[in-house]
């Protein structure tokens, strides 16, 4: 009975000396700070990884499968007139559609689908022409009748182009849904007009509204280099014009093919040469390959950011393990005393895990505020997610709790394996 009393007195003495995990202020503060900093760092990395991944995997809104793309430049004197370019292009498309393995062929341009670089700045009718905020800038594309549907972009309202939409008729356009909402919010865009800025002085009438598509590069690192992050891009705006009314010299031909791309490419070259032997065909490639190459910088940035996130997790785990192992290791004598008094090893483990979890939760609670402040400055770098993305916060929380519990468990498990007699001699 006397030995039991002595053990109880010794246990109380150890507790008063601050050997407990929750009673020792320095280890406790280190754990809370470590978890809080790790939470902030991991949330920032997690948001960037999720944003970049979403950007590089989101649907484009049109069908890229088996789509062969190529370029032609109608710079010869015989194509000096728009009418001559239109007549040649119409004949070219009919010829290409007759090539074995070509399911459809359409004119597009002047930019390549998925990397549009030509824009049209216009003022919707009814807006103040001298107000810069009235200007709507969209990517512009000259397409033939049926070109949108063959690419997989559906016309939601209105009609498609016809070959009668030429230089002799009033100018018309099909706009994307986002362009319609930006130009005429809350209004019916059909029949609305807009005035291009520049040499053109004629209004263009909207005859159709097409579904949104991503026809420009999703993330251009050159934009990021000058401070334009993906979060500042907003929806991609597009205006489609009938090729007979905007017969560009620079042509992009899209051909949906079935068969060997190499053989079909050779047949297409021969078909073009049969119409004009002097016309070079160049930059031939499948659109899927172009897009995969175009996304390499973004995917590399995602991989690098993910690597930093893993490194942050490793360093956070290492720091948490060190701090918690030190705090738990100081309790070896206390564990021996508790077991000598009849406590089970499982009881000791649960006690340590519970205390470690509470400190980790306290650290994460402080980290939420820090993460909220950090992510406010990251808003322009994010695409398709908010700075308070619940999935990222929940995932990081569960991850850190798991790391903290593991860091508590390993040293506590080793300490509870020590013989109580040996533990009583521990200093």
Print the domain residue range for 158: 75-278
Q: What is the largest CA-CA distance in the chain?
A: 114
Most confident stretch, 17-31, 115-129, 290-304, 402-416: 115-129
Backbone φ and ψ of 262, nearest 5°: -65, -45
Q: In sequence order, what are the residues at sequence separation of 6 or more whose Cβ sits closer than 8 angstroms to the Cβ of residue 13?
A: none
Examine residue 68 and state whether it is found in any structural domain, yes or no: no
Q: Per-residue pLDDT for 16 more than 50?
A: no
Count CB atoms within 10 A of the CB of residue 274: 9
Name the pairing type of β-strands 136-143 and 119-124: antiparallel
Examine residue 288 and state whether it is found in any structural domain, yes or no: no
Contact yes or no for 216/116 (Cβ under 8 A): yes
Sheet of strand 282-286: strand arrangement: 102-108, 250-257, 67-73, 282-286
Q: Are residues 54 and 94 in the same domain?
A: no
HSE (side-chain half, CA atoms, 13 Å) at 141: 33
pLDDT digits (tens, 9 = 90+) for 364-387: 888 888 888 877 777 766 777 888
Contact yes or no for 372/52 (Cβ under 8 A): no
Average pLDDT for 213-240 = 69
Q: Are residues 168 and 208 in the same domain?
A: yes
Examine residue 154 and state whether it is found in any structural domain, yes or no: yes
Contact yes or no for 172/207 (Cβ under 8 A): yes
Q: Are residues 153 and 27 in the same domain?
A: no
Backbone φ and ψ of 380, nearest 5°: -75, -15
The better pLDDT of the pair 352, 153 is held by: 153
Q: Are residues 345 and 311 in the same domain?
A: yes
Q: Closest by alpha carbon to 183, among 122, 225, 270?
A: 122
Q: Are residues 52 and 79 in the same domain?
A: no
Q: Are residues 123 and 230 in the same domain?
A: yes
pLDDT digits (tens, 9 = 90+) for 228-253: 555 445 578 999 999 999 999 999 99
How many distinct structural domains can be found in the chain? Answer: 2
Instruction: Determine the pLDDT at residue 223.
Output: 62
Q: Are residues 373 and 401 in the same domain?
A: yes
Examine residue 188 and state whether it is found in any structural domain, yes or no: yes
Q: Are residues 51 and 80 in the same domain?
A: no
Q: Are residues 49 and 79 in the same domain?
A: no
Q: What angle do CA 313, 414, 349 make, to 5 degrees?
A: 80
Q: Per-residue pLDDT for 78 more than 80?
A: yes
Q: Are residues 37 and 92 in the same domain?
A: no
Q: Are residues 92 and 24 in the same domain?
A: no
Examine residue 283 and state whether it is found in any structural domain, yes or no: no
Instruction: Determine the pLDDT at residue 418.
Output: 67
Backbone φ and ψ of 361, nearest 5°: -65, -40
pLDDT classification of 18: cutoffs 50, 70, 90: very low
The better pLDDT of the pair 331, 423 is held by: 331
Examine residue 70 and state whether it is found in any structural domain, yes or no: no
Final residue in a domain of this structure, among 224, 243, 278: 278
Q: Are residues 108 and 230 in the same domain?
A: yes
Q: Per-residue pLDDT for 61 more than 50?
A: yes
């Amino acid at each position: 009975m006397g030995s039991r009393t002595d053990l109880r007195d010794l246990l109380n003495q150890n507790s008063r000396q601050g050997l407990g995990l929750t009673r020792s202020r320095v280890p406790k503060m280190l754990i809370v700070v470590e978890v809080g900093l790790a939470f902030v760092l991991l949330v920032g990395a997690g948001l960037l990884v999720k944003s970049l991944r979403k950007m590089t995997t989101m649907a484009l809104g049109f069908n890229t499968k088996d789509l062969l793309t190529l370029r032609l430049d109608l710079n010869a004197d015989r194509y000096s007139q728009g009418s001559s370019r239109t007549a040649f292009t119409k004949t070219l498309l009919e010829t290409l559609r007759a090539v074995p393995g070509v399911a459809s062929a359409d004119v597009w341009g002047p930019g390549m689908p998925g990397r549009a670089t030509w824009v049209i700045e216009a003022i919707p009718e009814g807006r103040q022409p001298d107000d810069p905020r009235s200007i709507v800038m969209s990517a512009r594309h000259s397409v033939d009748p049926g070109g949108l549907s063959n690419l997989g972009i559906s016309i939601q309202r209105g009609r498609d182009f016809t070959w009668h939409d030429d230089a002799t008729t009033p100018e018309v356009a099909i706009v994307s849904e986002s362009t319609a909402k930006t130009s005429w919010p809350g209004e019916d865009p059909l029949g609305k007009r807009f005035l291009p800025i520049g040499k053109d002085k004629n209004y263009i009438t909207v005859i159709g509204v097409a579904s949104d598509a991503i026809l420009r590069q999703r993330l251009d690192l050159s934009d990021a280099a000058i401070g334009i992050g993906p979060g500042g891009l907003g929806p991609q705006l597009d205006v489609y014009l009938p090729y007979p009314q905007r017969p560009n010299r620079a042509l992009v031909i899209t051909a949906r093919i079935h068969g060997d791309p190499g053989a079909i490419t050779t047949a297409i070259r021969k078909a073009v040469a049969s119409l004009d032997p002097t016309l070079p065909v160049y930059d031939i490639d499948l659109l899927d390959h172009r897009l995969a190459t175009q996304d390499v910088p973004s995917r590399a940035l995602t991989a690098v950011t993910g690597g930093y996130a893993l490194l942050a997790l490793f360093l956070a785990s290492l720091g948490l393990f060190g701090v918690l192992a030190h705090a738990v290791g100081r309790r070896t004598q206390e564990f021996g005393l508790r077991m000598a008094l009849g406590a089970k090893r499982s009881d000791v483990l649960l006690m340590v895990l519970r205390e470690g979890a509470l400190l980790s939760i306290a650290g994460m609670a402080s980290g939420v505020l820090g993460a909220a402040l950090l992510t406010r400055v990251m808003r322009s770098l994010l695409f398709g997610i908010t700075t308070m993305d619940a999935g990222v916060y929940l995932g990081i929380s569960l991850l850190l709790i798991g790391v903290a519990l593991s860091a508590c468990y390993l040293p506590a498990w080793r300490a509870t394996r020590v013989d109580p007699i040996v533990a009583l001699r521990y200093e």
